Chains A and B, each alone.
Chain A
Amino acid sequence: MITIFDIILRLACWLLVAPLLPGIINKVKAWVAGRRGPPVLQLYYDLARLWKKSVVMSTLASPAFVILPAVAWVALLGAAMLVPLGPAGAGLSFRGDVLLMLYLLALGRFCTAWAAMETGSAFEGMGAVREVSYAVLTEAAMVAAVLSLSVQTGSISLATMLAPPAGAGAILLAAGLFIVLLAENCRVPFDDPNTHLELTMIHEVMVLDHSGPPLAVILHGAAMKLLLFAVLLAQAVLPMGRFGPFASAAVLVAGVLAVTAGVGVVESLLARFAFRRVPLLLTTAFLLCLFALLVAWKGGMS
C-alpha cells in the first residue's frame, strides 16, 4: 500500500513539475532582455489547449504516427522513475539501472525520430537525421560521464553513484554534463526552440506536423527530459549524501533551479552556433567528461 502511494506521488511529482522548467527558462530570458515575458505556467495552458484539439493526420501516416509519441513519453517517464530524487531515493533501483536509463532515453529519441519520418516529408526526415547524428556525440559524452561516476563510487546503480560528491573532477563533469543537457534538450547553442521557420532547427522540425494530444505528449516529454537532465546534473555534482533529508531536498531543488536559470542565461547571451561548429562543442563535452573519468581513475589509484 505504501509503495503504491509512493509511486503515485512520485509520478505526480515528475508529471506536474516538469512543465514548470521551460516556463522558468522563458521568464529568465525575458528578464535578461528586459521584457515581461509569458507567464511561468504557459506550458500548462498550452498542454491543456492541445489536449482538447483533434489530431490531423497525413494520408501517408500509419497509426504509428500517434502511437510512437506515447511510447516515447512512457520511455521518458520510465527513465525518470529510475532517477533518485534526493532523500526520497529512486522509484525503482537495482544494479545497473543507469544502463536502463540510458537506453530508455535512446528509445524515446528513436520513437520521436520514427514518428517524424512517418509523415513522409523530407523536411522532417532532415530534422530526424540531425537529431540522431548529434545524439551519437552526446551519448559518447553521457557514457563517459556515467563511467567517471561509477569508477569513483565503484557502483553501477544510480542511487549510490549520485550520493557522494563528484570529487576533484566535479567542475569538468558539471561543464560536460551541462553541454550535454543543452544538446539533448535542443537548447540554444545547438538549436533554437523559438524558431519555426528556419532550415537550421532540429527538434521543432521533427514535431512540425504533429497536432493535438500527440503534440502535447511530445512537449510534455521534452519538458520531462529537461527536468531529468537537470536533476541528474545537480545530483552528480552536489554532495547529496552529506546533508540531512530536508536539507538535501532543498539543495536538490536549488540545484535544479540554478541549472534552469543557467540555461536561460546561456540562451540570452549566446547565439546558435553554425552547424559545422556543433561537433566541435560536443567533442569538447565528451573530452570534459573523459578527463573527469581520468581524474576519478587517478584519484582512485593514489
Chain B
Amino acid sequence: MNSNLNLLIGLAMGLNLLALGTGRLPALIRAMSAQGVILGVMPVIMEHELDWRVALVALATMVGKGLIIPALLRRATRAVSIDRELEPIIGFVPSLLLGAAGAIAALALTQVLPLMPEHAGSLLVPGALATVFTGFILLIGRTKAISQVCGYLILENGIYLFGLLLIKAMPLLVEAGVLLDLTVGVFIIGIIVDRIQRAFDSLDTRKLTALRE
C-alpha cells in the first residue's frame, strides 16, 4: 500500500518538473490537472476499508481538479485568445533546476524532521514540500495571469498533499469545502482574466502596476 502511494507521489513530483519545464500553456494546464487527479486517488488508497464518503470526496476532487477547473481555464484562454507561449521571468532551465533542487532539499529536510513512525518511510512530506515550492516558482517566475493561476493551483495541490497526513483527524468536509472554494475561485479568475485583457490589451501581470485613467 505504502509503495503504491509513494509511486503516485513520485508521479506527482515528476509532473511538478513537467509543469516547470513546459513552454506551452495547454501543457501546463494538463500537468496541473493530471496532478489533481493523482492526488484525488490517494485518499482511496490510504484508507483501509472503503467508506462511501471518502470515495465521494475522492470522486469530487478528481472531477473538480481534473475536468472542471482545466475546462474553465481553457475557456478563459480561448476567450482572451492569448498566444500560447509562456513568457517566463525565471527561464525554463533555471526553474527546472530550482524545482529539482527544491525536491532534493525537501527529501533531505524530511530526514531531519521528527515525523510519526508510520510517515517516516512515505514520500508524503517531501512531495508536499516540493509541490508547494513548485507552486511558488510558477507564481513568481511566470508573467501571464493564467500561468500564475496554475502555479496557485499546484501550490494548493501541495497543501492538499500535506493535509493527507492528517486524513484520520481532519474531516473530509474541510477538503470538500476547499475544493468548492477553489472551483469558484478559478471561475471568478476566468472573468477577471477577461477584464484584464480588455483593460490592458495583455495578460502580462507586470503591466498591472501601471495606472491608467
Q: Is the interface of A mostly helix, strand, loop or mixed?
A: helix
Q: Which of B54-62, B93-101, B146-154 contacts A (4 or more CB under 8 A)?
A: B93-101
Q: Are A294 and B104 in contact (CB under 8 A)?
A: yes
Point out the residue from B23, B93, B100, B104 that lies within 8 Å of A279, measured CB to CB.
B93
Q: Answer whether residue A3 sits at the interface, using C-beta atoms and an 8 A cutoff.
A: no
Alpha-carbon distance A283/B121, docked complex (angstroms) = 29
Chain B residues whose CB sits within 8 angstroms of the CB of A291 once the complex forms: 100, 103
> Within B64-99, which residues are at the interface with A (CB < 8 Å)?
92-93, 96-97
Q: A294-B104, A294-B107, A298-B107 are in contact. Are A284 and B96 (CB under 8 A)?
A: yes
Chain A's closest residue to B120 (CB) is: A302
Q: Are B100 and A280 in contact (CB under 8 A)?
A: no
> Within A259-302, which residues are at the interface with B (CB < 8 Å)?
277, 279-280, 283-284, 287, 290-291, 294, 298, 302
Q: Are B93 and A287 in contact (CB under 8 A)?
A: no
Alpha-carbon distance A14/B107, docked complex (angstroms) = 43
Chain A's closest residue to B17 (CB) is: A287
Q: Are A283 and B96 in contact (CB under 8 A)?
A: yes
Q: Are A280 and B107 in contact (CB under 8 A)?
A: no
Q: A290-B100, A294-B107 are in contact. Are A280 and B92 (CB under 8 A)?
A: yes
Chain B residues whose CB sits within 8 angstroms of the CB of A302 once the complex forms: 121
Chain B's closest residue to A282 (CB) is: B93
Point out the residue from A277, A287, A298 that lies within 8 Å of B100, measured CB to CB.
A287
> Within B129-183, which residues are at the interface with A (CB < 8 Å)?
none
Q: How far is the CB of A7 from chain B (nearest CB, A)?
A: 43
Question: Which residues of B approach A to under 8 Å, CB–CB?
Answer: 17, 21, 23, 92-93, 96-97, 100, 103-104, 107, 121
12 A/B residue pairs, CB under 8 Å, sorted by A:
A279-B93, A280-B92, A280-B96, A283-B96, A283-B97, A284-B17, A287-B17, A287-B100, A290-B104, A294-B104, A298-B107, A302-B121
